[in-house]
Structure 1
Amino acid sequence: MITRRFILAGAAALAFTATASAEDWRKKYPEITLAVVPAENASGVTERFTPFINYLSKELGTKVTLRVANDYAAVIEGQRAGNIHIGYYGPAAFARARLTGVKTDAFAIEVNADGSKGYYSVFYVLAKSPYQKIEDLKGKNLGLVDPNSTSGNNMPRFKLNQVGVDPEAYFSKVVFTGSHENAVLALAQGTVDVAANWWNADDDSNLTRMLNKGMVKSADGTPMKKEDFRIVVKSDMIINSPVAYLSDLPDDMKAAIRKAFLEAAQKDAEAFKKLSDGKNKPWDPVTNEDYNKTIDLIKFVDQLRKKAS
């Protein structure tokens, strides 16, 4: 006969098992690392993410450490080695990780203020320059971001190919600046004549964020404004950046991480707002399959580079 005492004992045993399981993953992972691709300088990433890292540590009940990667490949290789438990990727960097066998799973995606889940790659020139289109820039210097940047390399190469342009042959010099911020600064100071970058909306782009911080000055030190820059190319929409955890983490650990991210805007609104200057809505769930088109993009760009070499 099933008695009330038997039912209560069973419920207690289940609760104990769940608690023990949670304790087990925290014992195995007393510290976990979240790494971020270098969309901006290290101090900017640290300032933007520190409140959120504190929220994650409290929510997960284990120490979370922020690592600001030197380049996009560092996040890929860190996850491949198992040293980075959570990667805040760019779309192409995540696609590259998946394509090269890194066991990582996307679980959350950025959502824009208007509810869309994508952004654009743009080519900026200085407004005072005579350049109105790519055809005006033959023999000039092009500033890209990083080989694994979606908006700063892969999509720009795709767009250039659409108009029959091989960057290495068409431009006098192609420079990888290392970050989106550095690409803007190289353009502002005249190191390059055109620079690729990310753009969400007229009031939400890497450029506007830098301008709001007073970071952009011309070669003579004059502070610059948005009107000092002109967009000459804008891409089709690119899927937003994913957050991905290692596939072989314990299931209950992944569930806790996923829950913490998806509930962040509700549970710690200030920390969440700081990540995007209040521009983004709460994260939405996402899957690896959502990035299949991005994998196709980098495969295409890889083929272009093989043909060029």
Structure 2
Amino acid sequence: MLTRRHAMGAAALGLTLAAASSSFAQDWKAKYPELTLGVIPAENASTTTDRWQPLTAYLAKELGVPVKLRVANDYAAVIEGQRAGNIQLAFYGPASFARAVITGVKTEPLANQKHETGVNGYYSVIYVRADSPYKSIDDLKGKTLAFVDPNSTSGNQAPRFFLQRAGKDAEKFFGKTFFAGSHENAVLALAQGTTDAAANLWNSETDTTITRMNAKGMLKDISGKELTQKDFRVVFKSDFLPEGPFSVLSTLPDDLKSKIKQALLDLPKKDKATFDKLSDGKDLSLEPVGLKDFQPIIDMVRFNDEQRKRS
């Protein structure tokens, strides 16, 4: 039989637990009165800021503390920002996340995007101009290839790995290689004739760096002619790659990590406009991921490191 004393005790216990929960929240807010979201520079700085700034406003509302955006100058800057503890939440490419793990950054993946294709991943491709004489990867022997960034998955690590598996050492097969700095810059180099080929990402026929640049009116050749996906040809395509993760510092309080993860998973329904902004409406959801999901990429980066040491 529930007595008044029992009821009062239960109520007191509830108040105690609520107070403890509130205390925990205040504890992490005292230590982290502001959070920073670091983002790799897949696009130019202004485009990246426009795409990601709404997410910081959403996260600030959900977490109850200000969240500022840091658009890194290169992929390594996100890694080093987390290593230093200055970037609490990061959006990585899979290879830059792998590099962070390999070099001892205490970071853990929370979620990644499911694309309109229904999968949490994409491909690396090598593009040439459709009006070029290059029909296959073999035609590019001795030619110039634009990579994206040393820590880009689709723009460097994956093409190197899968070309090597096909018997082609990138540094020996191509006459010249260089890093363009971003996916957009690599495509522009190809469009404007400063490279014969460019490595890049490919989500689907209707979602690539090229389609996104074309939608923004920023893809033109040297004469000023506007280019579309049809003006480029894929001559090499990797195996399937897992999409890069949102990843938090492992040293953050567990309740804060849980709140960030839940906020991300809730984003597509709670703030669809902000979610759609991240992919021009091409993604379906954010899905939970763990370290094991990126083990193949970690192995790939380690393999590439070993190959570089031997050359």
Q: TM-score, normalised by structure 2?
A: 0.97
Which of 237, 246, 268 is the matching residue for 2:271? 268
For residues 134-159 of structure 1, the C-alpha deviation after alignment (integer angstroms, 9 at most, x for no partner) is 11111211100011111000111112
Query: Where do 5+ consecutive residues of structure 2 fail to align?
Result: none
The one-letter code matched in structure 1 to 2:186 is A
Equivalent pairs counted in the alignment come to 308
* Equivalent pair of 2:82/2:107 in contact (CA under 8 Å): yes
The one-letter code matched in structure 2 to 1:214 is G
The one-letter code matched in structure 2 to 1:198 is L
* Equivalent pair of 2:117/2:204 in contact (CA under 8 Å): no
Which of 205, 208, 214 is the matching residue for 1:202? 205
* Equivalent pair of 2:41/2:75 in contact (CA under 8 Å): yes
Q: For residues 1-309 of structure 1, what are the structure 2 equivalents within 5 Å?
A: 3-308=6-311
For residues 222-254 of structure 1, the C-alpha deviation after alignment (integer angstroms, 9 at most, x for no partner) is 111221111111111001110100001011111
For residues 106-164 of structure 1, the C-alpha deviation after alignment (integer angstroms, 9 at most, x for no partner) is 01111111321110000000001000111111121110001111100011111221232
The one-letter code matched in structure 1 to 2:254 is D
- What secondary structure sits across from 1:82 in the alignment? coil
Shift of 1:282: 1.5
The one-letter code matched in structure 2 to 1:36 is V
* Equivalent pair of 2:108/2:290 in contact (CA under 8 Å): yes
Distance across 2 between alignment mates of 1:180 and 1:292: 24
Q: Which runs of structure 1 show a deviation greater than 4 angstroms over 4 or more consecutive aligned residues?
A: none
Distance across 1 between alignment mates of 2:244 and 2:70: 17
* Equivalent pair of 2:82/2:88 in contact (CA under 8 Å): yes
RMSD (Å) for aligned C-alpha atoms? 1.1
Distance across 2 between alignment mates of 1:219 and 1:114: 33
The one-letter code matched in structure 1 to 2:169 is D
The one-letter code matched in structure 2 to 1:280 is D
Shift of 1:173: 1.2
Q: TM-score, normalised by structure 1?
A: 0.98
